[in-house]
Amino acid sequence: MSASLSGAAPKAGGPLGRLSSPAVGLRASQASNALFVLPFLVVYALLLLWPLVKGWIISFHDHDLLSNDSFFIGLQNYRELWEDDVFHQVVWNTLRFVMISVPIFVVLSLTLAIALNRPGRLAAVLRAIFFAASVFSVTLITLVWQLALMPGRGMVDQGFAALGLPQLQWLTSDALALPTLALVTVWWIIGLPMMLFLSALQQIPSEMYEAAALDNASRWRTLTHVTLPSLKRTIALVAVIEVIRQCQVFPQVMLMTNGGPNNTTRPIVQFIYEQAFMQLSLGYATAASQVLLLVMLAGVSVQLWLERNDRAGGVR
């Protein structure tokens, strides 16, 4: 009896064989999946992670772009940024631009999406018109708006004159230049957030609206109790995307005001560009770009924190 037990070998088709076969298949599947992901990881590391690490390294050096000479200076670039009044101004300009433009983006794009979320040719044409502006180049957009805002002769000032309103210095006034640029930017690229909201609206189950209709809910009550709660994640997504995009504002400012008047519209990206390619101080410019990265991360973190707290409150 003992000989038969000790001499018996497990068959290939026995329980151990059946258990090992799926495990081997799982490992093979994981290996093949890793091979598919590997090219993306390589490109991601080369195009994003390495430049990010390299940027932090350069920010601790006095790096001349023309001669390519580089000397380690520690935190000197960051200390100079801390004491640079011009840098303080451009950071404040960028934050003001974000605070003006992002709420307008969210509210206006959501309003347009709700208004155009219906069948019909007119709604389709209007959706195409609003989205088409974002396809145009920044050069064309800024040229059109510079002509429209031309003091005294532009279409906007002529419209104000026809209504008996005073003409304004849209791009040369310290108080109006930055809000004007924010409105031009909203007009230019509002198509993307609008399309995101349209896509989210079409994912809301029709049964929810039918239930609201059975309860005789008004349009306002349906909007506040059905539509907006269903769009919370999309609202947070649009806010995060726009914070990142508007922190990097540059071409329309460069073409319309070149940072003026009196540096009131000069954003941090223009400051980085001037330091790197006009002053040839790559280390100083890179340190400023790391500050911009931290500002964007802070803005995104606040948005995500608010969304998480709101979601946790809803669960409770």
What is the set of domains in the chain, with CATH numbers?
76-315 (1.10.3720.10)
191-224 in b/e form (b: 16+ CB < 10 A) is: bbbbbbbbebbeeeeeeeeeebeeeebeeeebee
Under-70 pLDDT residues of the chain: 1-30, 310-316
For 229, what's the count of Cα atoms within 13 Å in the CB-facing half-sphere? Answer: 13
The pLDDT value given to residue 110: 94
pTM, entire model? 0.81
The pLDDT value given to residue 218: 87
Quickly count: other Cβ atoms within 10 Å of residue 232's Cβ: 14
d(CA 99, CA 101): 6
Rg, Å, the chain Cα set? 28
The pLDDT value given to residue 94: 94
The pLDDT value given to residue 19: 46
The pLDDT value given to residue 61: 85
